[in-house]
Amino acid sequence: MGLFDKFRRGLTKTANILKTDVRDLFKSEGRLIDDAFLDEMRAILFKTDMGYDSVSEIVDEVATKMRGRVVTLDDVVATWKTKLAELMAQEDAPIRFAESGPTVIMVCGVNGAGKTTSIAKLAHLLKSEGKRVVLGAGDTFRAAAVEQLKIWSDRLGVDIVTGDSGAHPASVAYRAVEQCLSTGADVCIVDTAGRLQTQKNLMAELTKIQQSIRKQIPAAPHEVLLVLDATTGQNGISQANSFTEAVDCTGIVLAKLDGTAKGGVVVAIRQQVGLPVKYVGVGEQPEDWALFSPDDFVDALFADVENSS
């Protein structure tokens, strides 16, 4: 399945709502772009959780280009797409691998965001590219979390390092990196807990894990991915900001895009968080994972609207 199709699958709920609303916007063949139109358009885009600033920019663009003219659905949608892709533009942002020696990727985010599942998906992708992967079960806070990662490692056929119960996550991370180095593996992915008694403890623990990884590879972790749950919409943005205060995150994974009709949240994230969106999760299986591409994203978002016109 290509990227476009993965985005289509991930955006089914969002695209369905858009399709109905945009059809209503263009009940007749063409429409005059006036204040009434711009207000209706604003309300539609808002529903997708793109955020106030992004919506305003798109409305302004349409107003500047088209006010006073009678235009077709295709004209308007083309303008939305161009503007949206521009708002989300980012440098190509897949994993930055270490120049030599293993690459270490640390994965953080709140409880239930989709960290462990995303690790499985990333491990699956890297393995399919011929890389050898070691997983570090750094969420020692819940026994079930270690078990969940272990099941994935068996299913995917990748190595895993776990700790005894009560082990410190920093020591698990240390041993995972050690195993990666000693076996000549290419990538070590370290899972972390999503919730400790307080946010302060969580942040301190993430810092400790980072430090213990650096004891063996000073330039590591090469990536610190922050997993956000798309179904929580714009709440993810405040989470992103508090995580980036504590650890140097390098990119965002947006999980559960398929579970929300507010897929426009990606636009708000790109606008309000200074990090690239690297991957999106579009289901629960290892292959339900797509490299984020603004162009494919907007094409998929409006594919149904365009086909129905």
Binding site for ligand GDP (CB under 6 A): 109, 111-117, 194, 227, 255-256, 258-259, 281-284, 288
Interacting span for Mg ion (CB under 5 A) from 115-123, 249-257, 258-266, 297-305 = 115-123
Pairwise CA distance, residues 309 & 305, whole Å: 6
146 touches Mg ion (CB under 5 A): no
The residue among 111 and 272 lying less far from ligand GDP, judged by its C-beta, is 111
Closer CB to ligand GDP, 59 or 249, in the complex: 249
Which CB sits closer to Mg ion, 11 or 158?
158
Q: How far is the CB of 165 from ligand GDP (least distance, A)?
A: 18
CA 209, CA 65: separation in Å to the nearest integer? 51
How far is C-alpha 224 from the geometric centre of its chain's CA atoms?
13
Restricted to residues 53-82, the positions that interact with Mg ion (CB under 5 A) are none
DSSP for the chain, written as a single string: --HHHHHHHHTHHHHHHHHHHHHHHTSSSEEE-SHHHHHHHHHHHHHTT--HHHHHHHHHHHHHHHTTSEEEHHHHHHHHHHHHHHHH-----S----SSS-EEEEEE-STTSSHHHHHHHHHHHHHHTT--EEEE---TT-HHHHHHHHHHHHHHT-EEE---TT--HHHHHHHHHHHHHHHT-SEEEE---S--SSHHHHHHHHHHHHHHHHTT-TT--SEEEEEEEGGGTTHHHHHHHHHHHHS---EEEEE-GGG-S-TTHHHHHHHHSSS-EEEEE-SSSTT-EEE--HHHHHHHHHHHHHHH-
Nearer of residues 258 and 296 to ligand GDP, judged by Cβ: 258
- Judged by beta carbon distances under 5 to 8 A according to partner kind, the member of Mg ion, ligand GDP, none in contact with residue 259 is ligand GDP
> 49 vs 205, which CB is nearer to Mg ion?
205
Residue 91: CB atoms within 10 Å = 5
103 lies in the binding site for Mg ion (CB under 5 A): no
Residue 5 binds which one of Mg ion, ligand GDP, none, with CB within 5 to 8 A depending on kind?
none
- Distance between CA atoms of 39 and 55, rounded to whole angstroms? 11
Work out how close the CB of 195 gets to ligand GDP at its nearest, in angstroms, rounded to a whole number: 9
115 binds Mg ion (CB under 5 A): yes
- Smallest gap from residue 140 Cβ to ligand GDP (A): 13
d(CA 305, CA 73): 9
**Interacting stretch for Mg ion, rule CB under 5 A, among 71-79, 138-146, 235-243, 291-299?**
138-146
Nearer to ligand GDP, 280 or 305 (CB): 280
Of 145, 170, 265, 280, the residue at the interface with Mg ion (CB under 5 A) is 145
Report, in Å, the least distance between residue 146 CB and ligand GDP: 11
Q: Which does 112 bind (CB under 5 to 8 A by kind): Mg ion, ligand GDP, none?
A: ligand GDP
Select 138 or 294, whichever has its Cβ closest to ligand GDP: 138
160 contacts Mg ion (rule: CB under 5 A): no
For Mg ion, the nearest residue by Cβ is 116
What does the binding site for Mg ion look like in residue numbers (CB under 5 A)?
Answer: 115-116, 145
